[in-house]
Amino acid sequence: MAKIPALQRPATILDVAEAAGVSKSTVSLVLQGSPLIREETAAKVREVAASIGYVYNRRAAQLRNQSSNVIGVVINDLMNPFFTEVLVGIERRLAQEGFITFMAHTDESVELQSKVLHSMREQNAAGIVLCPALGTPASLVKEVQAWGIPLIVMVRPLGKGSYDYAGSDNASGTLMATKHLLDAGHRRVGFLGGQSGPVYDDRLAGYRDALRAHRMKTDPALICQSLPTRQGGYEALQRLLDVKPMATSAVCYNDITALGALAALGERGVIVGRDFSIVGFDGVLDTAHSNPPLTTVDIRPGSLGEAAAGLMLERLSHPGAARLRYLATPKLLLRASA
Amino acid sequence: MAKIPALQRPATILDVAEAAGVSKSTVSLVLQGSPLIREETAAKVREVAASIGYVYNRRAAQLRNQSSNVIGVVINDLMNPFFTEVLVGIERRLAQEGFITFMAHTDESVELQSKVLHSMREQNAAGIVLCPALGTPASLVKEVQAWGIPLIVMVRPLGKGSYDYAGSDNASGTLMATKHLLDAGHRRVGFLGGQSGPVYDDRLAGYRDALRAHRMKTDPALICQSLPTRQGGYEALQRLLDVKPMATSAVCYNDITALGALAALGERGVIVGRDFSIVGFDGVLDTAHSNPPLTTVDIRPGSLGEAAAGLMLERLSHPGAARLRYLATPKLLLRASA
DNA sequence: CTGAAAGCGCTTACAG
DNA sequence: CTGAAAGCGCTTACAG
């Protein structure tokens, strides 16, 4: 047995080399699993390393290497379970591939977002996955790209420039949802919640298209904007109920506004699914057990996150490849609310 | 103006030094905001650095420094908004103090948890905040402590050993909730959802204590365990309704089981708050707009996260201090469900 | 297979 | 205030 000196400071590759009676090059090669080293020697080195409590210092290795296995993930709104599920999907996939995640929550603050992006750059993130905060200027894309750090933009497009993107086909989703309500006989269909922006505009466009396909014109009074939160949906629904002639159903900007709407309807004693129909958008897991369970346009948030991570991995291995793009295909999930 | 050479590789401190006509020591000191350098010189250096697109390489600095501004945060279940709110609280506070967060989601897998902890160690995390996965052995605490990395355990205690801990006073919370129902005249109060473990045991104990204080004995049939999920709460409630004599109310293990219970009751046409009363636990934001809004034991998840981050900061600045502890004081939040 | 040497980008005494 | 030098823990040719 090699002697096992009690070390004050953390053991380094040099300590392992000494204890194992080999050179530090050898130790380094063993730790990297190089085939250059005889298995017998490698086993000995690993054993000694474990016995003296050696811990690989990945940051030192990566400094030398000019590499990084850290991916920055920037999320705008974790209070919305949609983004949480997206985050979980991203992290799951990245962890599988041996990456580790720098996570930052911007809470829709463009200033904070800028700070964390710079911080991730200083920390040598190998790539950045960004769900942009509301109001993020399209110029941010070029800025980050100029850093030479691979960037995947998620959920919210950022201008017409060229960048890797993972999102969903929003217009076809709301088209599908609205058509479902119209086919069921509804003639007064509201569009509930959300605020202007690329995602909102596409979802609203799908709603309008469905009405047009049924030779109906859209009544602006039925479009009630709000913050994309439960509270927002709750308030927007109150406003919608004041519109005459009465709406009998609504397509919602997203699931949490729909959940807020459910609360508002429940409060008034309206039985959702019978007296009033609600369709959400996102396919958040919570909707399976809301009261009542929510019919929603499912874009599978978890898979969307995994797909975004997949794009990142793809981009990292092919830096020069053409622009990458993932668009989730929406699927209508029928439940009790509509 | 200094010449601005187009660099192929990222600029280093040496490039800045050359371009600014000073030594690299000077540049380093400027970047650290050292008062040793005349302000005039410092301004020049900063200007040159910006003009050649220099980016501080924090990892290199920290390797030399033997320091780290990265905190690992390990979360067991992000599908539960309680833990999401906790995470957001942690990250917010850490970011304020200039730390950056390595986030890992274990999804209640002890094996995955072990992997990510080792990974964080290799990456030189300055500290680790851990919401342990179910079934985590108490020995994990000593293991991580032996690494010399400050550890804050959250939400779920990990044995009787000595460690910094942030959680809540669970027994007093359910005591309060149960007492509320008893005082309102309920005589058949269920305890819904959750599985054995330190948190569960304490919450159940509070429930029992309240019954005892009312000179009632606990009916084991009224205790319906389940996974701590919406689905779990949904199923547990169905079982509870089969118990005779009928329960008229339930204290839930946590908010998401309560939300699942709301769904199950809604499905049966039971008006919650009138025909049946439900109390949750956690004070998750969603409960303000559930259908109906949920009466719950509020332990302010976001603040709990911030407090845990606070303990970490405290520990980092006082490594030798006595064990730190934060216990959230529960507050009953009265809403429509009970 | 192994050892000596240089270097990743920074910081930090130390001497001027 | 500044410059030369050593070193954080690793990797990587290169010569043996």
The answer to whether A59 faces chain B, any CB pair under 8 Å, is yes
Answer whether residue A99 is part of any domain.
yes
CA dist., res. A237 & res. A264, Å (int):
7
B206 and B147 fall within a common domain: no
Model pTM? 0.96
Which residue's CA is nearest to the C1' of nucleotide D10? A61
Instruction: Please provide the average confidence, as pLDDT, over all residues in chain B.
Output: 95
Instruction: Please provide the average confidence, as pLDDT, over all residues in chain A.
Output: 95
Answer whether residue B188 is part of any domain.
yes
A296 and A307 fall within a common domain: no
Query: How far is the CA of B86 from the CAs of A78, B154, B321, in angstroms?
Result: 11, 10, 25
pLDDT tens for B105-117 read: 999 999 999 999 9
Q: What is the pLDDT of residue A4?
A: 39
B326: which strand partners?
B166
pLDDT tens for A258-299 read: 999 999 999 999 999 999 999 999 999 999 999 999 999 999
pLDDT band (50, 70, 90) for residue B159:
very high
Answer whether residue B7 is part of any domain.
no
Q: How many domains does chain B have?
A: 3
Q: What is the pLDDT of residue A35?
A: 87
Helix or strand holding residue B10 (H, E): none
Give the chain B residue nearest A121 (alpha carbons): B55
Residue B322 has pLDDT above 60, yes or no: yes
Interface residue of B87, B100, B106 to substitute, partner A, most A CBs within 10 Å: B100
**Closest listed residue to residue A328, CA positions, set A176, A182, A167:** A167
**Closest listed residue to residue B209, CA positions, set B166, B255, B177:** B177
Answer whether residue B335 is part of any domain.
no
Q: Is the CB of B43 under 7 A from strand D?
A: no
**Closest listed residue to residue A55, CA positions, set B253, B87, B170, B124:** B124
B280 and B256 fall within a common domain: yes
pLDDT tens for B20-32 read: 999 899 999 999 9
Q: Does residue B293 have a cis bond before it (omega within 30 degrees)?
A: no
A196 and A214 fall within a common domain: yes
B141 and B226 fall within a common domain: no
B176 and B33 fall within a common domain: no
B118 and B183 fall within a common domain: no
Helix or strand holding residue B152 (H, E): strand B151-154
Return the amino acid letter for A3: K
B133 and B110 fall within a common domain: yes
B280 and B316 fall within a common domain: no
- What would the 3-class secondary structure string for B226-261 be? ECCCHHHHHHHHHHHHCCCCCCCEEEECCHHHHHHH
Within B 58-87, residues with CB less than 7 Å from strand C: 60-61, 63-65
Give the domain extent around A34. 13-56
Indicate the residue of A59, A107, A121 with minimum beta-carbon distance to B123. A59
pLDDT band (50, 70, 90) for residue A8:
low
In the DSSP assignment, the letter for residue A105 is E
CA dist., res. A2 & res. A20, Å (int):
7
B280 and B311 fall within a common domain: no
pLDDT tens for A233-246 read: 999 999 999 999 99
Q: What is the pLDDT of residue B8?
A: 62
Answer whether residue A63 is part of any domain.
no
Answer whether residue B129 is part of any domain.
yes
**Closest listed residue to residue A292, CA positions, set A249, A335, A257:** A335
Answer whether residue A155 is part of any domain.
yes
How many angstroms is C1' of C10 away from CA of B124? 17
A292 and A309 fall within a common domain: no
Residue A60 has pLDDT above 90, yes or no: yes
CA dist., res. B170 & res. B176, Å (int):
10
- Report the C-alpha dihedral over residues A109, A112, A114, A116, rounded to 10 degrees: -130
A214 and A187 fall within a common domain: yes
DSSP codes, A141-162: HHHHHHTT--EEEESS--SSS-
Answer whether residue A250 is part of any domain.
yes
**Closest listed residue to residue B155, CA positions, set B125, B189, B132:** B132
Query: How far is the CA of B220 from the CAs of A45, B192, B217, B235, in angstroms?
Result: 57, 11, 9, 17
B121: domain CATH number is 3.40.50.2300
